[in-house]
Structures are given as C-alpha cells and as structure tokens.
Amino acid sequence: MSEDQNVVYIGRKPVMAYVLAVISYMNTPDAKEVVLKARGRAITTAVDVAEVTRRRFMQKLQIDKINIGTEELTEQDGRKRSVSTIEITLKVKPTP
Amino acid sequence: MSEDQNVVYIGRKPVMAYVLAVISYMNTPDAKEVVLKARGRAITTAVDVAEVTRRRFMQKLQIDKINIGTEELTEQDGRKRSVSTIEITLKVKPTP
C-alpha cells in the first residue's frame, strides 16, 4: 500500500464530497486512520470535513492530531507567497 | 486576572491586526500563552495568525495545542446551523 493512500486532499469541492471520500476510504479493509490535508481557504473546509464525518457519520473516529504549517508557493510571475497549511489525522478509537 | 484576557477572537480583520494583538498581549508581564479562537471562514485567518506570529515575529512561541469543534448557531429566522470552530494555543517555549 502506498503511503499516501490514506490522504484526502481538501480543495474547493463541497464538504460532503470529502466526507464521502473519508467514509469510503475508512470502509476499506485494515483502514485505521486518514489524513486530511488542506491549504489556504480550504483549511476551513478541512475542519468542516473532520467535524461532519466524526459527528454525523463515523462516531468511532476521533481526532488524533492536528498540525499547522506554512508552505512557500511560487506564483506564475515568479513571486513567492506563503500559504498556511493544516493536516488533520482522524483515527479509529481504540476499543477499551 | 480574568480567564479570558489571554484569548484573541479572530474575525474578519486583516491577519496583521490579530498578529499585533497577540504580540502586544505577549509583551505584558507574566504572559505565558495566548489562545486564538475562530469559527467558520475565520478559521483560515486563525491559522495564518499563528503561523505569521511565530515565524516572523516571536520565534519563542510554539504551538501548544489545537482543538477543533462544532458550535450550534441560531439564525435570526430561528433555524439552527452548525459552524466549525478552532482554538489554537500558542505558548512560550520552555527554556532548556
């Protein structure tokens, strides 16, 4: 299995598109966690996806960790611009 | 000191307005940490404020914790709407 298979990149689609991607990934055999990655304006969508997924659809998921960071992008005209990023890891709750 | 004094609520102002609020709070005596709170679209701004503050202005600050959640808002017409929230705690790095 490739390392990136459990990453869902969040962009400009509606929240539910990504929620469905998370649910279908988590329903594959042996799936234990999924990482939501977003930058810029999509950060809000990533938080929405995490919240909607674990509250409405998969109560067995919990937020394992959240990292924020900065990426340097080069614009078409060559100028550099910094953009904030977020990574939210959702994990199956350990059975007690 | 009131418990909420170290909270910066992030809204629609430019990122730098909140960065300055964080810097001036952190320069008061005994300030050890500050909490950025935002919801909805302002979540992206909160991440930007955290990143710009600790990268460009206060390298002694680190991200201590990040929590996300959901709040239920009641619209003026009485309908309920869920909105995602974020809380980012920035803390002075322990001196080794």
Min CA distance, B76 vs chain A (Å)? 22
Q: How far is CA A61 from CA A2, A18, A95, in A?
A: 22, 15, 11
pLDDT score for B96:
75
A16 touches chain B (CB under 8 A): no
Using CB atoms, which residue from B55, B63, B68 is nearest to A51? B68
Torsion of CA B34, A37, A20, A64, to 10 degrees: -50
The answer, yes or no, to whether ipTM is higher than 0.90 is no
- Phi and psi angles of residue B15, each rounded to the nearest 5 degrees, phi first: -50, -45
pLDDT score for A95:
79
Q: Which residues contact A19 (CB under 8 A, 6 or more apart)?
A: A49, A52, A53, A57
A40 touches chain B (CB under 8 A): yes
Looking at per-residue pLDDT, the higher value among A29 and B88 belongs to B88
Given an 8 Å threshold on Cβ–Cβ distance, is B51 in contact with A70? yes
Nearest to A61 by CA among A86, A85, A25: A25
Read off the amino acid at residue B74.
T
Q: How far is CA A24 from CA A38, A84, B37, in A?
A: 19, 28, 32
Q: What is the pLDDT of residues A38-77, one digit of tens each?
A: 999 999 999 999 999 999 999 999 999 999 999 998 888 9
pLDDT score for B5:
75
Nearest to A61 by CA among A27, A87, A29: A27
Given an 8 Å threshold on Cβ–Cβ distance, is B44 in contact with A40? yes
How do beta strands A61-74 and A33-39 pair?
A: unpaired
Residue A34, helix vs strand vs coil: strand
pLDDT score for A2:
47
pLDDT score for A10:
98
pLDDT in tens, chain B (96 residues): 445 679 999 999 999 999 999 999 999 998 999 999 999 999 999 999 999 999 999 999 999 999 999 999 888 898 999 999 999 999 999 877
A48 touches chain B (CB under 8 A): yes
